[in-house]
Structure 1
């Protein structure tokens, strides 16, 4: 006889639990303190099909005007691996801009049953939001070969 676990599931981004990881950012009770935290919460929002959060965390200069998700798409997110956060490498650099950061990650997913991977180097900027508090925004990304 199998025994079901009663422990809360981990956060989709790989953290210990949604409630202590990305959940507070997505529900608006906390602001992601770093570009990496924002990137992880955006991955979690993709898993949850939470398009409003994704659009709210997308920089206005590059935010799509068309829907970014489709109910018809058979997409299943499988996991996230953060390769690097640029600021960690530049921490001692004198000319590093504290309001810009880059995060490299690989997200695995299945679309229509076929395994895929998204390898992206994402650009983030921190600037005041509607409430005046500075917060991180996703700007754009590139896909290394």
Structure 2
């Protein structure tokens, strides 16, 4: 006769990678930016954290990281939209040594994708999203 013992402790939740596409778990990746514990150090990291904010519907973070001259009153989330992945296709400038930068990316969603070149600038030392150009 085989006797199986019962597990007495709860299983640990498995750490999953951040929605931005990096292998680190959300809390240590984009979550720290969303919570205001750190600021994105590059334009690319801000782009990744903003994509993640769209996935998680973090309106406050999106508005805080939008340039004041182009910021909308609110973010209109499509309730049927399900984001499925982010691919960074290229960056130009946007490091700690630059005042501005661009990130070209493809954000996939169920049924399609969005291809954009986004512009970022520093405002009071922090990276913010200015605007974007849709690409084919």
Q: Give the equivalent residue in structure 2 for 1:143.
A: 134
The answer to whether the 8 A contact 1:49-1:69 is kept is: no
Q: Give ranges in structure 2 of 5+ residues lacking alignment.
A: 1-10
Aligned to 2:21: 14
Tell me which stretches of 4 or more aligned residues in structure 1 moved more than 2 Å: 4-7
SS at match of 2:22: coil
Quote the offset at 1:21 in angstroms: 1.2
For residues 126-137 of structure 1, what are the structure 2 equivalents within 5 Å?
126-128=122-124, 134-137=125-128
Aligned with 1:82 (options 76, 82, 88): 88
Q: What is the RMSD computed on CA atoms of the aligned residues?
A: 2.0
Aligned length: 124
The corresponding residue for 1:45 is 53
Structure 1 alignment gaps of length 5 or more:
92-96, 129-133
State the match for 2:38 in structure 1.
30
Please, what TM-score do these two structures have when normalized by structure 1? Answer: 0.79
Q: Structure 1 residue 137: deviation in Å?
A: 0.3
SS at match of 1:74: coil
